[in-house]
Amino acid sequence: MRRLARLLACSLLLVPGIVSARAADPAGEVDKLLAPWSRPDAPGCAVSVARAGQLLHARGYGAANVEAGIANTPDTAFHIASLSKQFTAFAVLLLQAEGRLALADDVRKYVPELHRFARPITLAQLMHHSSGLRDQLSLFWLQGRRGEDSIAQQDALRVIFGQRELNFAPGTAFGYSNSNYTLLALVVERVSGKSFADFLAERVFRPLGMDHSYIVDDYHRMRAGQAMPYAPGGKEGAPERRFLPYATYGSTGIRSTAADLARWARNFAEPVVGTKAVIAEMLKADPVTGYGGGLHIGRHRGAPIVGHSGIDPGFVGHFLMLPERRLSVALICNVEGEDPAPLARGIADLYLGEAPADPAPRPEVALAPAELLRLAGNYRDRLGTGFLIEAREGRLWMQGFDPMIPHGAGAFGMKGAPVAIRFSGEVPARTLTIDGPGGLLVATRYVRQPATALTPARMTDYLGTYYSPELAVLVTVARRNGALWILGPGWESRISQPPEKYRERDSFDTDTVTGTVRFRRDARGRVTELRSTNGRIVDLRFLRVTGLPRLGAVGG
């Protein structure tokens, strides 16, 4: 259910108080929306709004450096996190336009250090998040790193090159992974013969006048005009400092400004760098994933929209464009918080005027009891997320509490969320598809193996030490005060069973990066391995080990 919640969270399109018609004073309304981030003694944001290359609004809110009393401005450089991915995709497409690479190429043509998997991974699959590669950040956390630990590019490449299994077969599903864009940055370096920082500076930032944008490939280097990272107030209400010692790039790593991002958006409408064909490729949704060139592709108020959010310690941001309306919004903040996409879209609404309204909702139809039973059941997607579809009270319910609105012919909607749900297959239905702003999710029916409540006696089956060959990490499953726990390097979590109707044999939940933990048994019923699945990692294997060497007693 956590994954569905994130999917629906991406679909929150409206901000309270914003109307569809263009505001009489949109800049003043933006100031009102950003008022909570406008205190001079607290971190805040910077915003730019542009149409057809003309800057309509650009302003900073709050402090770039709280301690020094330095205000945010449109030219303050923020860490833009995953907004960086669109620049990486653009760099790859520039090289393709010059005939120096092709999206259909096997990535191992340029990066032979990557493991040779059963099926090759193409550059297009990296760009569109259909490679199946596990996410580097999730692997870091399993190794014991924390969000504010230092990360260099070589650290990221090391965990990528260590992967021996994929989340899914390349080209078959959407699986957002920072590893994809780290590899694309390496491809750009090897094909161009330049560092990624120099390539973007020479080919993108300088020609577009993005004079305050750059790659951070050395976090020790001091630069003027940066926003410092913060978190919301602690016990005393004052903001807390965060640290961002990252020197990894491709998936993240760019510092940019609200004004520079408006210049970047102008290049989509009137290309100075690249061609219209390059821009078209950026804005084209992949048929499997619905993802473009470092941009999510969707619709807003009946019009096409592209955009991306980013979050790293101390920073969040969102960048969007409505290409047909030639409107762009950049919202970047130096304080952690929720996904700012709804706020950015709300700002866009102030400038849209009488844009086409969203389509009228489809009518609800009644379903026969036999049809409800045909569709009800357990489904699981390729990233390991389970969906329970229940038939009760004359309708279908997702995950026990979300009522589904039937439209007929196996199609459904959900109240308050612009997602389209459909079932396919005969009796019973085989596939559940959820299509929404967060992407396309496809789940397949499976037979759940019910489990009884976990007792202290049954816990004994799982106790022991497990080793991941990919990560060179040991974890321990232990019993504490009658409960089962998993302990890793620098982290630990209680292992718990889901509620009874979701419960499965040898499958448990945790509240750490291990996510769902499933144990595997051999033919004799003995537990031999543990597998971790968390949405960005699927079935990462930890093999049960015995007979580890121990230090002997100190003798005289």
Please spell the DSSP secondary structure of 418-475, one letter per residue: EEEEEEESSSS--EEEEEETTEEEEEEEE-----PPP-HHHHGGG-EEEEETTTTEEE
**Which position has the token pair 């580890």?**
548
Spatial CA neighbour of 95 closest among 196, 174, 171: 196
Angstrom distance (rounded) from CA 422 to CA 5: 18
Distance CA 519, CA 385 (A): 16
Angle between helices 153-161 and 178-192 (to 10 degrees): 110
Q: Which CATH architecture has domain 22-320+332-352?
A: 3-Layer(aba) Sandwich (3.40)
Confidence class of residue 499 from pLDDT cuts 50, 70 and 90? confident
HSE-CB at 196 with a 13 A cutoff on CA atoms is: 29
pLDDT at 4: 42
Per-residue buried b or exposed e for 312-351, using 16+ beta carbons within 10 Å of the residue's own CB: bbbbbbbbbbbbebbbbbbbbbbbbeebbbbbbbbbbbbb
Mean predicted confidence (pLDDT) in 439-459: 87
User: What is the band of 355 on the pLDDT scale with cuts at 50, 70, 90?
Assistant: low
In the chain, what are the domain boundaries? 22-320+332-352, 369-446, 456-545
Helix (H) or strand (E) holding 503: none
CA of residue 37 relative to chain centroid, distance: 24
pLDDT-based confidence at residue 553 (cuts at 50, 70, 90): low
* 227-256 tens-digit pLDDT: 999 999 766 678 999 999 999 999 999 999
* CATH architecture, domain defined by 456-545: Beta Barrel (2.40)
Mean pLDDT, the chain, whole residue set: 91
Contact 516, 144 (CB under 8 A): no
pLDDT bracket for residue 470 (50, 70, 90): very high
Top-confidence residue, 555 or 387 = 387
Residue 437 has a pLDDT of 63
Model confidence, pTM = 0.90
Q: Name the CA dihedral angle for 505, 506, 508, 512, rounded to a multiple of 10 degrees.
A: -160
pLDDT at residue 274 is higher than 80: yes
CA 117, CA 131: separation in Å to the nearest integer?
11
Give Cβ neighbours of residue 389 (< 8 Å, ≥ 6 apart): 375, 376, 377, 378, 379, 396, 397, 398, 404, 432
Please say whether the dihedral angle defined by the alpha carbons of residues 173, 177, 181 and 184, taken in this order, is positive or negative. negative
Contacts 24+ apart (CB under 8 A), 32-39: 33/343, 33/346, 33/347, 34/59, 34/61, 37/61, 37/62, 37/333, 37/335, 38/62, 39/63
Confidence of residue 62 (pLDDT cuts 50, 70, 90): very high
- Tens of pLDDT, residues 171-226: 999 999 999 999 999 999 999 999 999 999 999 999 999 999 999 999 999 899 99
Nearest to 314 by CA among 490, 80, 137: 80
β-strands 246-247, 254-256 pairing: unpaired
What is the C-alpha radius of gyration for the chain, rounded to an integer number of angstroms?
A: 25
Q: Which of 92-106, 143-157, 373-387 has the lowest mean pLDDT?
A: 373-387
> Which residues lie across from 397 on neighbouring strands?
390, 403
Q: Looking at residue 439, what is its pLDDT?
A: 67
